[in-house]
Amino acid sequence: MKKLLLFTLSIIVFGSAFAQKKGIINNSESPNVKFKSIDIGDCTWTEGFWADKFKVCEETMVPYMGELLCGDIGHALNNFKIAAGLKEGEHKGMKWQDGDFYKWMEAEMYVYAQNKDKKILADLDKYIDIIGKAQQPDGYLQTQVTLNGWERNGNRQYHEMYNSGHLYTSACIHNRITGKTNFLDIAIKHADNLYDTFMVDDLSDNLKRFGFNQTQIMGLVELYRTTKDEKYLKLAELFINLRGQSKVEPSKVAGYKFIGDMVQERTPLRKEKSAEGHAVLALYFYAGAADVAAETGEKALVDALDRLWDNVVEKKMYITGACGQTHHGVSSHVDMVHEGFINEYMMPNLTAYNETCANICNSMFSYRMLGIHGESKYADIMELVLFNSALSGISIEGKDYFYANPLRVCNHAHDNPDAATEFDQRIPYVECFCCPPNLVRTIAKVSGWAYSLTDNGVAVNLYGGNKLTSNLLDGSKIQLSQVTKYPWEGAVKITVGKCKKDAFQLRLRIPDWANGSKLLVNGKDAGVDVKAGTYAVVDRQWKKGDEILLDMPMEAKLMEGNPLIEEVRNQVAIKRGPVVYCAESTDLPKETGILDVFLPFKSELKAEYKPNFLGGVSTISADVKLRKVDENEMYSEVKNVVWETYKTQFVPYFAWSNRGQSEMTVWMPILWE
Positions touching Zn ion (CB under 5 A) are 355, 357, 434-435
Give min distance, CB of 160 to Zn ion, in A.
Answer: 17
Half-sphere exposure of 248 toward its Cβ, with a 13 Å CA cutoff?
21
Strands in 516-626 per DSSP E: 518-521, 524-525, 534-540, 547-551, 556-559, 571-576, 579-584, 597-600, 606-610, 617-626
Sign of CA dihedral 411, 413, 415, 416: negative
For Zn ion, which is the closer residue by CB, 361 or 588? 361
For Zn ion, which is the closer residue by CB, 445 or 576? 445
Give min distance, CB of 321 to Zn ion, in A.
Answer: 15
Let me know: does 131 contact 82? Beta carbons within 8 Å: no
The radius of gyration computed from the CA coordinates of the chain, to the nearest angstrom, equals 25
Sign of CA dihedral 442, 443, 448, 449: positive
Let me know: does 478 contact 495? Beta carbons within 8 Å: no
For Zn ion, which is the closer residue by CB, 405 or 466? 405
Give min distance, CB of 514 to Zn ion, in A.
Answer: 31
Give min distance, CB of 358 to Zn ion, in A.
Answer: 7
How far, in Å, CA of 40 to CA of 176, rounded?
8
For Zn ion, which is the closer residue by CB, 75 or 278? 278
Residue 402 pairs with which residues in a beta bridge? none
Give min distance, CB of 433 to Zn ion, in A.
Answer: 8
3-state secondary structure 250-273: CECCECHHHCHHHHCCCCCHHHCC
How far, in Å, CA of 650 to CA of 583, rounded?
5
Let me know: does 586 contact 662? Beta carbons within 8 Å: yes
For Zn ion, which is the closer residue by CB, 281 or 617? 281
For Zn ion, which is the closer residue by CB, 295 or 355? 355
Give min distance, CB of 320 to Zn ion, in A.
Answer: 16
For Zn ion, which is the closer residue by CB, 139 or 165? 165
For Zn ion, which is the closer residue by CB, 354 or 592? 354
For Zn ion, which is the closer residue by CB, 403 or 488? 403
Give min distance, CB of 163 to Zn ion, in A.
Answer: 14
For Zn ion, which is the closer residue by CB, 219 or 465? 219
How far, in Å, CA of 213 to CA of 160, rounded?
9
How far, in Å, CA of 666 to CA of 565, rounded?
15
For Zn ion, which is the closer residue by CB, 434 or 496? 434
Give min distance, CB of 166 to Zn ion, in A.
Answer: 12
Give min distance, CB of 438 to Zn ion, in A.
Answer: 6
Let me know: does 205 contact 217? Beta carbons within 8 Å: no
How far, in Å, CA of 221 to CA of 223, rounded?
5
Residue 670 pairs with which residues in a beta bridge? 599
Cβ-in-10-Å burial (0-12, 13-18, 19+) of 60 comes to middle
Give min distance, CB of 435 to Zn ion, in A.
Answer: 3
Give min distance, CB of 226 to Zn ion, in A.
Answer: 26
Cβ-in-10-Å burial (0-12, 13-18, 19+) of 276 comes to buried
Give min distance, CB of 360 to Zn ion, in A.
Answer: 8
Give min distance, CB of 436 to Zn ion, in A.
Answer: 8
For Zn ion, which is the closer residue by CB, 305 or 440? 440
How far, in Å, CA of 573 to CA of 560, rounded?
7
How far, in Å, CA of 100 to CA of 87, rounded?
20
Cβ-in-10-Å burial (0-12, 13-18, 19+) of 1 comes to exposed
DSSP annotation string for 404-471:
---SEE-TTS---TTTTT--SS-BS--SS-SHHHHHHHHHHHGGGGSEEEETTEEEE-S-SSEEEEEE
For Zn ion, which is the closer residue by CB, 239 or 433? 433
| Residue 262 region by backbone torsions, left for phi larger than 0, else alpha for psi between -120 and 50, else beta | alpha
Query: Helix, strand, or coil here: 100?
Result: helix
